[in-house]
Structure 1
């Protein structure tokens, strides 16, 4: 797996605990859009401004690509976690979901937080990342 793809998938995993709030925030932005600011401060009429609220294209929740991508990432991670074993799930939780920024995989294995060898932990993590990449339609090879 290329390092750039691995880093991208790791960033997605680090954002996983915040995904529900990102999804809620984006849905609220779409449901309650902010009105356009009126630049016509001095008064008078805006000559080139058409008022056609029906004709304006409104992005709905089903059409918003960013929102759909967030939901797709969340679903893919959930599926991968469900399909993975207990040890793999523990590795992913300790490495990406918790605030163990200073702890490396070697430290997690040495402290027996993850009950496998370092080599096995890297293998399990890498296989999880490959499966996640496949579910997200990312070219992992």
Structure 2
């Protein structure tokens, strides 16, 4: 696997615990956009103006590419986590899901009674999946 792809997948795993928050922030930014105040005061009010704002917001949220990608990414990582064994799950949680992980591959190996190369292989197999 290319190193750029490897780093990208690692970053996805590091962001995984926060994906729900990212989705919520994106939905809020679509639902409540910043609208600059109009200084042009006066004039009449438009008659017969249709207000389709709610429908437009719902459609925008449902079709937003960033939200779709975040949901897809979360679903794929969750599926991989469900299919993995206990040791690999512990390795992934320790390396990527903790805020400040202090464990190294050697330290994880000692904790799980595995060699460093076994830990590296399990991590690599998970990232390939």
Band the TM-score falls in, shorter-chain normalisation? 0.7 to 0.9
1:1-141 to structure 2, matched below 5 A, reads 1-30=1-30, 32-38=31-37, 40-41=38-39, 43=41, 60-110=60-110, 112=111, 114-131=112-129
Shift of 1:29: 2.3
How far, CA to CA, are the matches of 1:100 and 1:118 in structure 2? 20
Gaps of 5+ in 2: 44-48
How far, CA to CA, are the matches of 1:122 and 1:17 in structure 2? 22
Distance 1:62 1:115, change over 3 A: farther
Q: Give the TM-score normalised by structure 1.
A: 0.73
Give the structure, 1 or 2, with the largest relative contact order (CA under 8 Å, sep 6 or more): 1
Distance 1:14 1:42, change over 3 A: same
How far, CA to CA, are the matches of 1:35 and 1:20 in structure 2? 22
Gaps of 5+ in 1: 46-50, 132-141
Q: Give the TM-score normalised by structure 2.
A: 0.79
Report the number of matched residues: 121
Larger helix share, 1 or 2: 2
- Contact 1:6-1:129 at 8 Å conserved across structures: yes
1:99 is paired with a residue whose SS is coil
- Contact 1:19-1:74 at 8 Å conserved across structures: yes
